[in-house]
């Protein structure tokens, strides 16, 4: 009995430890199985999301192709619309010219033909305008004179045609050196200025010149001024202080051809580049057209004493009004001047918001805001 009790006492701890180990192993297996199932579920979710992303990518590619197709179609339609509008305008001008010629008789038709020929001939092969020939004087007797209303209609038509809008451009252009006369090409001397070119042509964008120089050239800028008498070619007038290889066009240059002449440091004949007429960017051009259609432009300004003023530019004159005049009552116009007398407007080159406007009797307004 004593030996049996001793064996039982020894066997019980071993049996308990064995049972505990078996139970722990079973718990670990259950945990591993649970973790494996969770990992499989996460992996399946990732595969589904990857498939959905691929589908989204394919749809985006199809939409991008569709957007590009629509963009090309819109561009083509816009170009066709622009061509159609230009064609309509040309047809309208042709019909108007023919109607005016039929109404005024052979003399008016001859004058219109001369003016049209002069306008067509005023653009040379290089794109530079030449002065149109003066129209012949109209002589008609009293019995054959057109009715007064036809004279008024023709005068209105000519006044509208005299409003020539400046060209419009969305990006700068590149202008290259003018060819030298044949006798100068035979000169084999050193070319101190060669391959001269100018980049620009837009109001607000500097004209920048570059080329192959030996030393530092002397640069002078010119503006083309048309001859109003019709006697002689257009001439270029120096721009005063505009020296150097860079020039910022002003409002006075809009619609005019600019010319750059460079001379080497040791003299010689000048090398020249001529631009096309200085153009406006599309937003500014559209704003100018809106002002012309409206018939007036209004600007809010301040005097040096910070008194509010309104500058009103109409087809007949320019007016300066007090700000309170907008509320009505009293003498609203402080100054008024027609265009038959000189009117000068100067914008500060260092501050586009500041400037001065004055007539032929002295300065009337300074500076302007906006």
Structure tokens at 17: 């430890």
pLDDT tens-digit map of 278-321? 999 999 999 988 888 888 888 888 888 888 888 888 888 888 88
pLDDT tens-digit map of 65-97? 999 999 888 988 888 888 888 888 878 777 776
Average pLDDT, the chain: 74
Q: What is residue 234's predicted lDDT score, i.e. its pLDDT?
A: 62
Q: What is the mean pLDDT of residues 347-360?
A: 70
DSSP for 294-334, written as a single string: HTEEEEEEE-TT--EEEEEEESSEEEEEEGGGGG--S--EE
pLDDT tens-digit map of 8-37? 677 777 777 777 777 777 778 888 888 898
Structure tokens at 337: 């001047």
Q: Contact at 8 Å (CB) between 234 and 226?
A: yes
Q: What is residue 233's predicted lDDT score, i.e. its pLDDT?
A: 56
Q: What is residue 275's predicted lDDT score, i.e. its pLDDT?
A: 95
Residue 224: pLDDT over 70? yes
Structure tokens at 199: 């980049």
Q: Which residues contact 146 (CB under 8 A, 6 or more apart)?
A: 103, 104, 105, 108
Q: What is residue 124's predicted lDDT score, i.e. its pLDDT?
A: 36
Count Cβ atoms within 10 A of the Cβ of residue 122 and give its class: 0-12 exposed, 13-18 middle, 19 or more buried.
middle
Residue 174: pLDDT over 90? yes
Residue 110: pLDDT over 60? no
pLDDT tens-digit map of 321-342? 887 644 455 547 888 888 777 7
Across 146-160, 191-205, 234-248, 316-330, least confident range: 146-160
Q: What is residue 60's predicted lDDT score, i.e. its pLDDT?
A: 93
Q: What is residue 90's predicted lDDT score, i.e. its pLDDT?
A: 77
More confident residue, 112 or 214: 214
Q: What is residue 195's predicted lDDT score, i.e. its pLDDT?
A: 92
């Amino acid at each position: 009995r004593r030996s049996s009790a001793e064996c039982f006492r020894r066997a019980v701890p071993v049996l308990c430890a064995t049972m505990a180990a078996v139970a722990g192993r079973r718990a670990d297996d259950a945990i591993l199985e649970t973790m494996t199932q969770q990992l499989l579920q996460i992996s399946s979710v990732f595969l589904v999301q990857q498939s959905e992303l691929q589908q989204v990518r394919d749809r985006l590619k199809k939409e991008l192709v569709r957007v590009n197709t629509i963009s090309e179609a819109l561009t083509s339609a816009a170009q066709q619309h622009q061509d159609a509008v230009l064609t309509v305008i040309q047809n309208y001008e042709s019909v108007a010219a023919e109607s005016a010629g039929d109404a005024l008789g052979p003399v008016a038709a001859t004058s219109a033909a001369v003016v049209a020929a002069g306008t067509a001939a005023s653009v040379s092969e290089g794109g530079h305008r030449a002065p149109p020939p003066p129209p012949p004087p109209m002589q008609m007797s009293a019995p054959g004179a057109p009715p007064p209303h036809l004279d008024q209609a023709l005068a209105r038509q000519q006044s509208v045609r005299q409003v020539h809008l400046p060209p419009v451009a969305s990006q700068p252009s590149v202008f290259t050196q003018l060819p030298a006369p044949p006798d100068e090409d035979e000169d084999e001397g050193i070319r101190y200025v060669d391959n001269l070119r100018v980049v620009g042509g837009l109001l607000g964008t500097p004209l920048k010149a570059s080329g192959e120089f030996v030393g530092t050239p002397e640069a002078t800028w010119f503006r083309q001024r048309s001859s109003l008498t019709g006697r002689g070619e257009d001439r270029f007038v120096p721009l005063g202080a505009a020296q150097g290889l860079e020039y910022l066009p002003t409002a006075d240059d809009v619609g005019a051809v600019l010319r750059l002449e460079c001379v080497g440091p040791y003299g010689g004949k000048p090398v020249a580049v001529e631009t096309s007429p200085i153009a406006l960017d599309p937003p500014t051009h559209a704003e100018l057209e809106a002002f012309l259609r409206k018939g007036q432009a209004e600007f809010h300004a301040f005097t040096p004493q910070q008194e509010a003023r309104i500058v009103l530019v109409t087809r007949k004159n320019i007016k300066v009004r007090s700000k309170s005049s907008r509320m009505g009552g009293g003498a609203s116009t402080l100054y008024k001047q027609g265009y038959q007398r000189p009117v000068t407007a100067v914008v500060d080159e260092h501050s586009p918001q500041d400037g001065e406007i004055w007539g032929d009797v002295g300065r009337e307004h300074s500076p302007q805001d906006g």
